[in-house]
């Protein structure tokens, strides 16, 4: 249940690798789609601070030329959505957006989630006589190097639409636009006061859409290479402006938009992952303890892992589903009022050579279902397949992994539904989000439809469990905001979403990013922190810090690595991810789990698709309870 990709909202830490131990890992360039390590222009590694032995993982490697078109999708009404504020700090084009400010003037921007979540962004500001403040938004992928940027071509559009509402105290808003040339100068051209483009001619607390005819743009702006939209606060005063959407449209007609969630009073449930099924076999005491726990915690759904023994004679042909082992367990759980899902999954399930193994496992479940008494039958099958844990996922090959995952999910759904079983799957919270390094969202073409990966998965499943492992409820990186896209889409298609909470102890982690052309040969004395790669005799990644130069040189001697063969990239950013951010084992304990289920549950119930919470996992939660 590990999550490889993380949110952009991390804690920045000083770039100083002063530890004595050298951390390294071997890898195969071909798994990352690389023919030549010298072509790498962007990458990330993580140092897992495991208490037993810290380890280095490669998270992402991207070669030169990877950044292409942002994958703009047409929206209803002949519009292209630039920003629907569904992602913190990154819009639909991969462009960053944020405030600018100079004291004593100030500005902040956030996404409201209380009391009812909305897919909007809110700008708050104080404009003084001195200083400046406002909001800027790129119309190109901000993560792309200058030579690989694709600027927004607005020549086929008639207007720019900005939906907004708010309150102003004396101040006003000036709309500015920059093309690629003006963006290089870090400046923009004034177009007009925002109020003049609104139907009412003023900003008030009702939703309005400002419609800017692109014909009014000055000729000095290249409409085929638009780069930035700027909202500059003028005058003196305070204000609070909520933005609903920013779009380019083919007509001047305003597009209606509804941002309010509908109240929902449906019932919700609780689910639990149980991985230690082998401990329940022929142990009535352990089974009774589980059932008592389920009853005390009001658990409705049990994701029960099918026990797998690699030495079993049938193991190579799929996970065995043995009646004599499972019937006593499933029957007891059913008779206690719980719905049992057969839990299967492995990151390798997406590999083509594993297709037969997965299919035979599903057929084993179907045979069990047909032969077991009704009182011992499964309610569903639950899939925990996490290909992002495989090497190469964070690379140009990512779509290959995602398409193979969809293939497995689709095949599984067809097979188990034929036996009258429901089917669900675990998904990470970032499957709807722009990649933290490339700003590109996981968009996949499947069955003739090109759309975000999370929408494909929700389409295929009866329900999903969003492994939204956060211990904080509010904020752009909190439990509420991270779940909104999945809940909204599931509302639209009539599916259910369970929100996952982590109770298992996890290690802290530090992410290290590097970018640009590599250096080669011995590491210069002025380079303090770097990611180093070797080709001979083995392909390795080494995390280098000025504080471990002696240990690094010893490693080179031990591995017979010639310093002349080294490639290296200076570390340009490091981010610390504390385990308390994702797991209640270190993030507040049992009291915090119960509090967030109560408080967040009240908010999530505004969405008809909210199914309830899913706890990971049985043993982790018991550990919290027994502290």
Task: Give the model confidence (pLDDT) of 536-584 as tens digits.
Answer: 778 999 999 878 888 899 989 998 999 999 999 999 999 999 999 999 9
Give, as one character, the DSSP assignment of residue 263.
Answer: P
User: How would residue 301 be classed by pLDDT, with cut points 50, 70 and 90?
Assistant: very high
pLDDT of residue 12: 38
Instruction: Average the pLDDT over each of 96-105, 256-265, 433-442, 603-612 and give the range with the smallest value.
Output: 256-265
For the domain bounded by 269-504+583-625, which CATH number is listed?
3.20.20.80
Residue 61 pLDDT more than 60?
yes
CATH hierarchy code of domain 78-249: 2.60.120.430
Q: Say how far apart CA 243 and CA 247 lie, in whole Å.
A: 12
pLDDT tens per residue, range 66-89:
886 444 544 445 889 999 999 999
What does the pLDDT look like over 587-597, one tens digit per residue?
Answer: 999 999 999 99
The answer, yes or no, to whether residue 336 has pLDDT greater than 80, is yes
Looking at the DSSP bridge assignments, the partners of residue 380 are 341, 422
> Confidence band (pLDDT; 50, 70, 90) for 15?
very low
Distance CA 105, CA 133 (A): 6
Q: What is the pLDDT of residue 1?
A: 41
What's residue 620's pLDDT?
96
Q: What is the pLDDT of residues 348-402, one digit of tens each?
A: 999 999 999 999 999 999 999 999 999 999 999 999 999 999 999 999 999 999 9
Q: How many CA atoms lie within 13 A of 252 on its CB side?
A: 8
Res 259: pLDDT:
53
- Domain residue limits, the chain: 11-67+508-576, 78-249, 269-504+583-625
Mean pLDDT of 256-275: 74
Q: Which range, of 111-115, 184-188, 373-377, 519-523, averages the lowest pLDDT?
A: 111-115
pTM comes to: 0.92
pLDDT score, position 260:
56
Whole-number pLDDT of residue 77: 58
Q: What does the alpha-carbon distance between residue 559 and residue 54 come to, in Å, rounded to a whole number?
A: 20
- Of 355, 343, 348, 338, nearest to 308 by C-alpha is 343
Is 214's pLDDT higher than 90? yes
The predicted-structure confidence for 108-157, as pLDDT tens digits, reads as follows 999 988 777 778 999 999 999 999 999 999 999 999 988 889 999 999 99
pLDDT digits (tens, 9 = 90+) for 444-459: 999 999 999 999 999 9
Cis peptide before 514 (omega within 30 of 0): no
**Measured distance CA(380)–CA(514) in Å, rounded:** 44
Q: In which band, very low, low, confident or very high, does the pLDDT at 10 lie, cut at 50, 70 and 90?
A: very low
315-329: buried (b, 16+ CB within 10 Å) or exposed (e) per residue?
Answer: eeebbbbeeebbbbb
Average pLDDT, the chain: 91
The percent of residues in the chain predicted with pLDDT above 70, rounded, is 93
């Amino acid at each position: 249940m590990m999550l490889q990709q993380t949110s952009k909202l991390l804690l920045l830490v000083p770039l100083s690798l002063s530890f004595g131990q050298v951390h390294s890992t071997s890898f195969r360039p071909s798994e990352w789609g690389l023919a030549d390590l010298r072509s790498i222009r962007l990458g990330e590694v993580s140092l897992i601070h495991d208490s037993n032995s810290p380890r280095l993982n490669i998270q992402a490697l991207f070669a030169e030329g990877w950044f292409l078109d942002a994958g703009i999708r047409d929206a209803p009404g002949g519009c292209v959505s630039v920003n629907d504020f569904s992602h913190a700090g990154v819009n639909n084009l991969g462009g960053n957006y944020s405030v600018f400010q100079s004291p004593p003037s100030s500005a902040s921007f956030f996404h409201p989630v209380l009391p009812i979540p909305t897919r909007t962004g809110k700008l708050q500001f104080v404009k003084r006589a001195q200083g400046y403040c406002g909001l800027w938004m790129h119309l190109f992928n901000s993560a792309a190097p200058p030579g690989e940027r694709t600027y927004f071509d607005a020549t086929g559009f008639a207007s720019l639409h900005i939906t907004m509402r708010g309150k102003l105290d004396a101040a006003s808003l000036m709309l500015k636009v920059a093309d690629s040339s003006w963006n290089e100068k870090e400046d923009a051209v004034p177009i007009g006061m925002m109020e003049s483009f609104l139907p009412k001619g003023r900003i008030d607390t009702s939703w309005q859409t400002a419609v800017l005819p692109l014909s009014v743009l000055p000729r000095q702006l290249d409409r085929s290479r638009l780069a930035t939209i700027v909202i500059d606060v003028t005058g003196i005063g305070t204000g609070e402006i909520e933005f609903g959407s920013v779009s380019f449209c083919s007509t001047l007609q305003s597009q209606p938009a509804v941002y309010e969630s509908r109240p929902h009073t449906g019932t919700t449930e609780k689910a639990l992952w149980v991985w230690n099924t082998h401990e329940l076999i022929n142990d009535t005491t352990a089974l009774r303890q589980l059932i008592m726990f389920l009853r005390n915690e009001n658990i409705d759904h049990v994701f029960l892992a099918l026990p797998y023994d690699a030495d079993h004679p049938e193991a190579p042909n799929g996970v065995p589903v043995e009646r004599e082992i499972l019937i006593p367990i499933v029957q007891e759980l059913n008779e206690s009022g719980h719905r049992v899902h057969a839990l299967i999954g492995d990151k390798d399930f997406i590999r083509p050579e594993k297709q037969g193994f997965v299919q035979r496992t599903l057929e084993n479940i179907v045979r069990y279902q047909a032969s077991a008494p009704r009182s011992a039958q499964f309610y569903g099958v639950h899939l925990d397949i996490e290909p992002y844990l495989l090497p190469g996922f964070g690379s140009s090959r990512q779509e290959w992994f995602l398409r193979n995952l969809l293939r497995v999910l689709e095949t599984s759904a067809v097979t188990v539904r034929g036996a009258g079983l429901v089917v669900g799957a675990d998904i990470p919270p970032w499957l709807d989000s722009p990649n933290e390094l490339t700003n590109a969202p996981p968009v996949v073409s499947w069955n003739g439809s090109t759309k975000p990966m999370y929408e494909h998965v929700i389409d295929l499943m009866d329900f999903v469990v969003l492994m939204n492992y956060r211990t904080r409820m509010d904020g752009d990186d909190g439990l509420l905001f991270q779940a909104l896209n999945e809940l909204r889409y599931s509302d639209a298609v009539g599916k259910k979403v369970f929100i996952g909470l982590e109770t298992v102890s996890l290690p802290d982690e530090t992410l290290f990013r590097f970018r640009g052309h590599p250096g080669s040969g011995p590491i210069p004395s002025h380079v303090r922190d770097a990611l180093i790669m070797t080709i001979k005799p083995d392909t390795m990644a080494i995390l280098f810090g000025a504080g471990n130069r002696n240990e690094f040189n010893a490693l080179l001697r031990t591995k017979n690595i010639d310093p002349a063969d080294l490639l290296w990239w200076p570390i340009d950013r490091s981010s610390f991810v504390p385990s308390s951010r994702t797991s209640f084992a270190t993030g507040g304990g049992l009291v915090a789990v119960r509090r967030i289920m109560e408080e967040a549950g009240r908010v999530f119930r505004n969405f008809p698709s909210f199914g309830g919470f899913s706890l990971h996992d049985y043993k982790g939660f018991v550990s919290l309870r027994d502290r």
